[in-house]
């Protein structure tokens, strides 16, 4: 096509005949529009192409039979592409888009199945780690990572690859139209496998760190319980020698005195308390010790993170290296300044989310949490788009002080709560009623097997089943959502965008559009969270999911109780040890609770198992009732696997945005080479100003890249560059042309409707709205949206 000479790679060509497949199209206009006449050679050559297409259709051996409807659709799209002189870039053919969307939906389905398998098995492996003795932790974890998880990942990767290949062969209509993307989707599978491998490794080693801490606490607790049991046993023996039989009131007074003496005599040591903010500050200083002198000097003068605890992060001129911008116009420098400010606040929010997630685990603080925060900041600052803004070392150190300053008191509170909840005296006193029950029954020569079983269900099985439920409920919620009536919106990014944008249009409020445009990731996550709450709030659906999980583990417990190896145990203590090993993949049973249950317990093993099974039914009902009565809003933070985070990651994908209008990338997978969006918007919504003026830009990049207009920004080093050459600066972005003149009506309507509001928010002048935009209606905007999302 005349004036459209762009490079093409070999992988872009599906089939090529050197003699028949080369066509020349002169420009549509003979001269400069609008006064130019139509070029006759253009129409003649297009007519010849149409005739040839009919001939080619008859001769070509296609993977599936062609029909007149698909041919008409293809010809229509081809004609639009040629008419708008965008032929060389992309057909924007609906059949291609539909085939790609089918492929994306299938990939999304297989990706979730892969993730679900890994998370399900990972939950079991974490339980195995938490059931290990300290001396076995390293070897068991290495075996899990090097053998079991590797085998799982190999198996699931192969299955996903083979299923995609099969889908390419027989499951996808018009598959020949997207043959060029086959390799991309197979690469996505390998990338997914790598991500899951890293995630699994991090989870397992974190489980090891947690277990190491709890093992130290368990050692102390075991010593305390042994001391208590020795004293109680000796006291019981003395009573038998005296042949005295006190009443229940006397027994209680006697036991309380005995208990107090035991605790006083043992002289329990408290858990060591750490000054978290001091440790975090030292960790920051160690990490930045090789930075420039000004940074080292500043850190040396910081004596405490408390100064940064409540302080908001405010931008400063020293945060950008202005030496790189000395020859660049002022409005670009200001734009970079705003971008750096946005990155800082966005990163601080992400770090806060991470801190909240760790706090909700109710585990002890670990120095890795501080290191992970620093790694999050380092990773972001190392991204190319951030490096182009030339942040200074002062920006880095102040941002880290701000993030750690906010996190330190929360981590301190987390550490303090863990210390309180695991305080030896507190934990020991929790078992006091059970020890008294044993003491009373032995003093009165009663053997209440059922009472032992009831205590075991309450103190040991109930917490373990609750933890199991919280570990698996998030996965079941996603599974349920991907099978419900609204499942299609989560099947691909395009379908989700359609749902989101339709709702925005129905609400038609500036505040909603502003949050969507300026804080897209945050908006999506909040929207998904609200959707989950609405779906499972005050409904039987949450009850059903919880009941399925609890009932399933209940059946496993009852089956384990009937295992011959459990039934043949010689003592209750041995029976509980064997029982816990039978369930080591599913439950983490409290060793302290099992020790109390086995103390002075001479129950018949078969009867004791029967009694546990009997009380288990009521325990299951109590767990179901307690979780469901909390409500989904209170349940979500307790889930190990957060459904809102997983769905958000599934929808957001790579997280890249159009460099001009900020439209989110819709390409399949997370590690694709090229980014694209099917629905670009007026650049002023980004916000993007017209050159050096202070006016919002009203043009769309999907039209600009096929014009002779130019742009200038920090990425071009302050030099003007034609939009059509944008890929010399942004090689990973493919900006497709509009299908027709009405393609962007949705966003044109939004800018027209809220032009003054956006201008006021961005502190600029409103965009110049063309007269035809002013006539756009909400109905036309919806029609444009639906047409674009086909």
Q: Is residue 608 part of a domain?
A: yes
Highest mean pLDDT among 53-57, 205-209, 507-511: 507-511
* Per-residue model confidence (pLDDT) at position 244: 64
* Per-residue model confidence (pLDDT) at position 331: 59
* Per-residue model confidence (pLDDT) at position 240: 67
* Per-residue model confidence (pLDDT) at position 91: 39
Q: Which residue has the higher pLDDT, 444 or 369?
A: 369
pLDDT tens sequence across 735-757: 887 767 777 899 999 999 999 99
Check whether residue 364 and residue 430 sit in a common domain.
no
Q: Which residue has the higher pLDDT, 533 or 242?
A: 533
Average pLDDT, the chain: 85
At residue 193 the predicted structure's pLDDT band, cuts being 50, 70 and 90, is: very high
Q: Is residue 676 part of a domain?
A: no
Chain centroid to Cα 621, Å, comes to 32
Give the chain's domain count: 5
Check whether residue 585 and residue 630 sit in a common domain.
yes
Q: Can you spell out the DSSP letters for 481-543?
A: HTTSTTGGGGT-HHHHHHHHHHHHHHH--HHHHHHHHHSHHHHHHHHHHHHHHHHHTTSHHHH
* Per-residue model confidence (pLDDT) at position 83: 54
Q: Which residue has the higher pLDDT, 222 or 688?
A: 222
Distance, in Å, from the CA atom of 776 to the CA atom of 753, rounded to the nearest integer, reads: 9
- With tokens 């935009």, the residue in question is 773
At residue 677 the predicted structure's pLDDT band, cuts being 50, 70 and 90, is: confident
Check whether residue 218 and residue 301 sit in a common domain.
no
Check whether residue 780 and residue 713 sit in a common domain.
yes
Has residue 14 got a pLDDT over 50?
yes
Highest mean pLDDT among 527-536, 649-658, 730-739: 527-536
**Which of 42-56, 325-339, 546-560, 585-599 comes out lowest in average pLDDT?**
325-339
* Per-residue model confidence (pLDDT) at position 282: 94
At residue 179 the predicted structure's pLDDT band, cuts being 50, 70 and 90, is: confident
Q: Is residue 673 part of a domain?
A: no
* Per-residue model confidence (pLDDT) at position 651: 86
Check whether residue 144 and residue 247 sit in a common domain.
yes
At residue 404 the predicted structure's pLDDT band, cuts being 50, 70 and 90, is: very high
| Mean pLDDT (whole number) for 634-650 | 91
* Per-residue model confidence (pLDDT) at position 459: 92
Check whether residue 432 and residue 406 sit in a common domain.
no
Check whether residue 450 and residue 595 sit in a common domain.
yes
C-alpha gyration radius of the chain: 33
3-state secondary structure of 547: helix
Check whether residue 281 and residue 362 sit in a common domain.
yes
Has residue 2 got a pLDDT over 50?
no
Check whether residue 501 and residue 592 sit in a common domain.
yes
pLDDT tens sequence across 358-388: 998 889 999 999 999 999 999 999 988 888 8
Check whether residue 126 and residue 80 sit in a common domain.
no
The residue among 513, 628, 521, 613 whose CA lies nearest residue 558 is: 613
| Mean pLDDT (whole number) for 401-424 | 93
Check whether residue 513 and residue 623 sit in a common domain.
yes
Q: Is residue 115 part of a domain?
A: yes
Can you say whether the dihedral through the CA atoms of 285, 287, 290, 295 is positive or negative? Answer: negative
Q: Which residue has the higher pLDDT, 696 or 323?
A: 696
Domain ranges, residue 578: 444-638
* Per-residue model confidence (pLDDT) at position 678: 82
Has residue 58 got a pLDDT over 80?
no
Check whether residue 629 and residue 715 sit in a common domain.
no
Q: CA 303, 305, 308: angle at the middle one, nearest 5?
A: 125
Q: Please report, for residues 142, 214, 370, 454, the alpha-carbon distance to residue 205 in angstroms, rounded to integers and kept in the order given.
A: 9, 14, 16, 35
| Mean pLDDT (whole number) for 480-494 | 85
């Amino acid at each position: 096509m005349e004036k459209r000479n762009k490079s093409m790679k070999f992988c872009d060509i599906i089939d090529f005949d050197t003699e028949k497949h080369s066509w020349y199209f002169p420009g549509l206009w003979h001269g400069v529009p609008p006064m130019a006449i139509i070029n006759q050679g253009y129409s003649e050559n297009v007519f010849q192409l149409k005739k040839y297409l009919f001939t080619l259709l008859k001769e070509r051996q296609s993977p599936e039979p062609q029909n007149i409807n698909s041919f008409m659709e293809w010809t229509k799209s081809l004609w639009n592409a040629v008419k708008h002189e965008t032929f060389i870039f992309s057909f924007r053919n609906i059949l291609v888009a539909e085939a790609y969307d089918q492929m994306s939906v299938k990939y999304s389905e297989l990706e979730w199945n892969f993730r679900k398998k890994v998370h399900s098995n990972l939950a079991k492996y974490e339980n195995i780690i938490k059931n290990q003795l300290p001396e076995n932790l390293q070897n068991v974890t290495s075996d899990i990572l090097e053998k079991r998880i590797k085998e799982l990942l190999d198996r699931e990767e192969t299955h996903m690859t083979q299923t995609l290949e099969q889908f390419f062969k027989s499951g996808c209509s018009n598959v020949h139209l997207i043959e060029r993307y086959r390799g991309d989707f197979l690469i996505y599978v390998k990338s997914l496998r790598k991500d899951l491998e890293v995630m699994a490794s991090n989870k397992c080693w974190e489980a090891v760190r947690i277990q190491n801490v709890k093992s130290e606490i368990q050692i102390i607790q075991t010593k305390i319980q042994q001391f208590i049991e020795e004293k109680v046993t000796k006291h019981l023996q003395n009573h038998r020698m005296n042949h005295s039989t006190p009443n229940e009131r006397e027994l209680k007074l006697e036991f309380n005195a005995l208990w107090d003496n035991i605790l006083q005599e043992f002289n329990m040591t408290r858990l060591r308390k750490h000054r978290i903010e001091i440790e975090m500050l030292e960790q920051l200083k160690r990490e930045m010790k090789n930075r420039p002198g000004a940074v080292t000097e500043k850190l040396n003068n910081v004596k405490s993170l408390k100064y940064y605890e409540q302080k908001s992060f405010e931008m400063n001129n020293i945060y950008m290296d202005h030496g790189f911008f000395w020859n660049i116009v002022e409005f670009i420098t200001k734009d970079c300044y705003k971008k750096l400010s946005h990155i800082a606040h966005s990163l601080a929010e992400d770090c806060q989310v991470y801190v909240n997630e760790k706090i909700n685990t109710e585990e002890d603080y670990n120095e890795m949490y501080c290191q992970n925060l620093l790694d999050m900041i380092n990773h972001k600052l190392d991204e190319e788009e951030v490096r182009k803004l030339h942040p200074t070392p002062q920006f880095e150190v102040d941002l880290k002080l701000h993030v750690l300053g906010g996190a330190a008191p929360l981590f301190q509170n987390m550490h303090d709560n863990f210390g309180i909840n695991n305080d030896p005296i507190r934990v020991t006193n929790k078992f006091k009623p059970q020890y008294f029950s044993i003491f009373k029954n032995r003093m009165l020569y009663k053997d209440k097997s059922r009472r032992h079983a009831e205590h075991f269900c309450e103190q040991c099985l109930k917490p373990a089943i609750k933890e199991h439920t919280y570990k698996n409920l998030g996965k079941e919620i996603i599974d349920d959502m991907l099978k419900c009536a609204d499942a299609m919106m989560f099947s691909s990014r395009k379908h989700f965008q359609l749902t989101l944008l339709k709702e925005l249009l129905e609400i038609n409020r500036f505040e909603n559009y502003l949050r969507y445009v300026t804080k897209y990731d945050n908006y999506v996550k909040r929207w998904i969270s609200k959707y989950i709450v609405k779906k499972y709030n005050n409904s039987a659906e949450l009850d059903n999911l919880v009941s399925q999980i609890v009932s399933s583990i209940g059946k496993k417990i009852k089956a384990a109780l009937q295992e011959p190896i459990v039934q043949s145990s010689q003592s209750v203590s041995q029976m509980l040890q064997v029982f816990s090993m039978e369930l080591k993949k599913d439950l983490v049973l409290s060793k302290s609770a099992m020790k109390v249950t086995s103390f002075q317990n001479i129950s018949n093993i078969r009867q004791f198992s029967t009694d546990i099974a009997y009380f288990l039914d009521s325990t299951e009902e109590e767990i179901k009732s307690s979780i469901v009565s909390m409500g989904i809003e209170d349940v979500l933070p307790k889930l190990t696997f957060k459904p809102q985070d997983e769905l958000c990651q599934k929808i957001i994908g790579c997280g890249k945005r159009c460099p001009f209008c900020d439209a989110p990338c819709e390409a399949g997978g997370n590690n694709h080479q090229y980014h694209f969006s099917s629905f670009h918007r007026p650049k002023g919504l980004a916000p993007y100003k017209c050159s050096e003026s202070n006016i919002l830009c009203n043009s769309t990049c999907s039209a600009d890249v096929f014009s002779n207009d130019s742009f200038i920004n920090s990425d071009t080093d302050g030099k003007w560059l034609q939009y059509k050459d944008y890929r010399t600066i942004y090689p990973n972005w493919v900006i497709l042309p509009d299908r027709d003149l009405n393609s962007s009506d949705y966003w044109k309507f939004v800018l027209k409707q809220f032009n003054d509001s956006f201008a006021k928010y961005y502190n600029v002048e409103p965009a110049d709205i063309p007269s035809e935009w002013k006539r756009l209606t909400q109905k036309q905007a919806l029609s444009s949206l639906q047409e674009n999302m086909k």
